[in-house]
A and B are shown apart, each in its own frame.
Chain A
Amino acid sequence: MSNAIDLSDVVKTFGPTRALDLLNLQVKTGEVHGFLGPNGAGKSTAIRVLLGLLRADSGRISLLGGNPWNDAVALHRRLAYVPGDVSLWPNLTGGEIIDLLGKLRGGLNTARRAELIERFELDPRRKSRTYSKGNRQKVAIVAALAADVELLILDEPTSGLDPLMESAFQNCINAAKDQGRTVLLSSHIMSEVEALCDRVSIIRSGRVMETGTLAELRHLTRTSISAEIDVIPADLRAIAGLHDLSIEGNRVRFSVDTDHLDGALQALTAGRVRTLSAAPPTLEELFLRHYDSARPAEPVVTR
């Protein structure tokens, strides 16, 4: 089994809104998969469908080789979930809730529980009504990471954590990956995804627009170039993949599809380069480009 998660053409509607519109998502076993998208794109809906909390209107859904709607209980023994908005029973303590969720999942690793509580600096004796958002999130994260499961489904798990805790979280995810677990990490924090994920799927309006490794996705991005050259090459405009060209005296600025970077640089060197600065593509840029509403919402086929 190579795919831990396999959704194809999944549709889920709530009345007139199409929350998932022919969604395709494949997560390979053992990888950390980033699930990127703006608020309301359908990330949480897709996750709830994966957990068998919502029933898809149509499409094929496979989770760890089973059907999440029919085999919810059996599948849930093998996964752990951190919701995006964690609400807890106000009169139970954090420690009680961690144990409860662990037992309901079929057991938890007590040594790891203790280690995680320490690492995340969580006081497990406090009633959860006294926890801040970040602390509530830590309870859910500790409960999930302390379970011996194959798959972690994390819905914006760090949105309430401070940078220190975020880095502790990243270490834990890397450790989980080393143990061979699969992780689906929904997020809108680019740095987190860049730091952690093997592959990324970008979702918008209920559709996955692009999927690939970060390197693959960078092929779709542009590098910004600014250079001073002695002779402006006459055929600069003709170079494939060049955009937003501006020429002021000897200064040239443009952005170029990363695929065509080589050709553009060769053209520049022909005119004798004095200075050169190149800004590497970021996921932010990719992200912005896809959520620029002026662009048609057509999925880009990458592979």
Chain B
Amino acid sequence: MTTIAAGRPVAARRRSSAFVGTIALLRLNLRRERLPLVLWVAGLAGIVMSTMASLAALVPTEADRVELATGLAVNPGMVVLLGHVQSTSMGGLISWRVGIADATLIALMAILTVVRRTRADEESGRTELLVSAVVGRGAPLAAALVTAGGACVVVGVLVAGSMIANGYPAAGSWAFGAALAGTGLVYGALAAVVAQLVENSRAATALTGAALAIGYAVRAVGDVNDRLSWLSWVSPQGWFSRTGAYAGNHFGVLGLSLAATAALTGIALWLLNNRDLGAGLLAVGLGPASSRSLRSPFALALRLQRTSLLSWTVGMVALGAVVGSIGADAGSLLADSPPKMVDIIRKLGGPGAIGDAFLGAMGAIVAMIAAGQAVSTALRLRSEETSGRLEPLLATAVDRRRWMAGHLLFVVFGPLLTLAAAGLVTGLVYGGRTGDLASGVSAGFQSVIVQWPAVLVLGAVAAAVFGVLPRFTGIAWGALGVAIVLGQFGTLFGLPRVLLDLSPFTHIPALPSAQMQWLPVTVLVVIAAALMGVGVVAFRRRDVG
């Protein structure tokens, strides 16, 4: 009997053994992702629940909701951010208000989780250790996808359950929850594909994150421009809208998400089976045998940060083009608005003012993305430390403060560069489309560049956390998350002013329509400088490692 079992051809067993150990790895993932996933799931479901409560108080009657849907909701800025209102029922408005944002954030959770548990583990050599045990080749990928997908499904179920529990129609609630989860699944599977293609996890996260941003932008263009409405069929966030929760409940669209997820998963597995462990798609070539230019901590920081700086700049230029283009369309979109609304805006300063106001609102969004750049750039400090690469550097004649300053330069001037690029392109496209290039460029540039001090503060928070509480760098991302939630949902939830003031973005004047205010902007710069100072001093005084 034993000889027969031992003699079974290996090829026949390969297929069935590819996923051996998936359950054990799933347990490992759940253990390792315990805290982040609980926070993500609670936050993502919590946003929907608190929106449910605040909207119910804000627009209790059908008349209120119709006014919102035909007034504020047709503002182009709102359409870009949230899409169209598809139903003036309470459920429809909740789905409109948080849907796209929550779907995008769920996707972000899935992307980060999948990359962390696939490429990042592989890069660090942990996967090698695991796969050397009785663990199939596909098991780490499968476990990562199940972990991330499971979290998406849990969010969907929590959302649907809490909506139903509060008396919203069951079909609409399930459509809502399922559409949210579906967006996460698609992007999680996309992350799995990208993680097979590129060799390092940072690039995998950046590329899939860029796809997520493109998905958002494509949907926004499709929503704003009627002739391009087909574009929302290209974007997973568009599929969320097309599901039409509480407004038709087109469960068929969910099939699209599931099919895309399955197809992407299949591609990821195929790629996995056709590459070496630790390798990407491109072979690594040879490089220079010596270096003249790498002669200072700054030169090293430049070398380490330049690729990401370049990618951020490209992304922000693309974003600027989209914002400028939509801004130019903003005036014409109002033609469909009720006369009352157009009248109010005319009184405020004519159609030009609508575009300007739109730019001001979008400036804040662009700034939050730049703040993401600032935080991730600053946290490079920590990844250099934990990887053990800092230790030999500091054993040379490099002062800790000088090393840190080399990276902080990129925290300070990196976002300045990307904001300037985004602002310039926004202005060029906006000015080019409206026909007044000079004032268009000025308006677009101002709207974005004025946000720099607020971006700086978040980068400085990351630097301070690195110095003072290096094990808790998540605080820096948390601070950015809080700033985004306060900025996007703060007024909606009717939060007190004191709380809103916590976000640096609250203090930035919405140029070009608002007046420039130098005082708050200067104070933000001073705060940022102080925080960075604290970070540097604390880092000088603490243990490295």
Contact = CB atoms under 8 A, between A and B. Distances in A.
Interface in B270-312: 284-292, 294-297, 299-300, 303-304
Interface string A39-80: 000000000100111110000000000000000111011011
B406 to A, nearest CB: 11
A274 interface: no
A103 interface: yes
B295 A103 contact: yes
B398 A53 contact: no
Given A53-B391, A100-B294, A48 B545 contact: yes
Interface in B379-407: 387-389, 391-400
B544 interface: yes
A15 B398 CA distance: 28
A124 B289 contact: yes
B376 interface: no
A141 to B, nearest CB: 11
Contacts of B200: 90
Contacts of A48: 391, 544-545
Given A73-B397, A93-B287, A127-B284, A104 B304 contact: no
A290 to B, nearest CB: 27
Contacts of A100: 291, 294-295, 299-300
Nearest to B286: A125
A54 B542 CA distance: 7
B112 to A, nearest CB: 20
Interface string B15-32: 000000000000000000
A112 B199 CA distance: 34
A150 interface: no
A51 B395 contact: yes
A85 B392 contact: no
A124 B289 CA distance: 5
Nearest to A88: B389
A95 B391 contact: no
A129 B545 CA distance: 22
Contacts of A106: 396-397
B543 interface: yes
Contact of A126 (B286, B294, B398, B544): B286
Nearest to B399: A73
Given A73-B397, A73-B398, A90-B200, A96 B287 contact: yes
A74 B399 CA distance: 9
A178 B481 CA distance: 59
A156 B285 CA distance: 30
Given A83-B392, A87-B389, A124-B289, A53 B543 contact: yes
A140 interface: yes
Contacts of B397: 73-74, 76-77, 104-106
A252 interface: no
B538 to A, nearest CB: 13
Contacts of B284: 127, 129-130
Interface string A130-145: 1000000000100000
A265 interface: no
Given A76-B398, A96-B290, A104 B297 contact: yes
Contact of B296 (A54, A92, A104): A104
Contacts of B542: 55
A90 B388 CA distance: 12
A99 B294 contact: yes
A232 interface: no
Interface string A146-158: 0000000100000
B382 to A, nearest CB: 14
A9 B438 CA distance: 71
A81 B392 contact: yes
A86 to B, nearest CB: 7
A101 interface: yes
A87 B395 contact: no
Interface in A218-262: none
A126 B285 CA distance: 7
Interface string B476-506: 0000000000000000000000000000000
A76 B389 contact: no
B361 to A, nearest CB: 39
B209 to A, nearest CB: 20
Nearest to A147: B396
B201 to A, nearest CB: 11
A68 to B, nearest CB: 10
A104 B284 CA distance: 27
Contacts of A77: 397
A76 B543 CA distance: 17
A55 B392 CA distance: 17
Contact of A125 (B199, B287, B392, B543): B287
Contacts of A53: 391, 394-395, 543-545
Contacts of A55: 541-543
Given A100-B294, A104-B296, A126-B286, A83 B304 contact: no
Nearest to A100: B294
A72 B397 CA distance: 7
Nearest to A14: B543
A297 to B, nearest CB: 25
A95 B399 contact: no
Nearest to A52: B394
28 contacts: A48-B391, A48-B545, A53-B394, A53-B543, A53-B544, A54-B543, A72-B394, A77-B397, A80-B395, A89-B389, A95-B288, A96-B287, A96-B290, A98-B290, A99-B292, A99-B294, A100-B291, A100-B295, A100-B299, A101-B393, A103-B295, A104-B296, A104-B398, A105-B396, A105-B397, A106-B397, A129-B284, A140-B392
The 5 closest A-B pairs by CB, nearest first: A81-B395, A93-B287, A104-B396, A95-B289, A96-B291
Interface of B: 199-200, 284-292, 294-297, 299-300, 303-304, 387-389, 391-400, 541-545
Interface of A: 48, 51-55, 72-74, 76-77, 79-83, 85-90, 92-93, 95-96, 98-101, 103-106, 124-127, 129-130, 140, 153
Given A73-B399, A100-B295, A129-B199, 5 more contacts: A54-B545, A76-B397, A89-B389, A103-B294, A104-B398
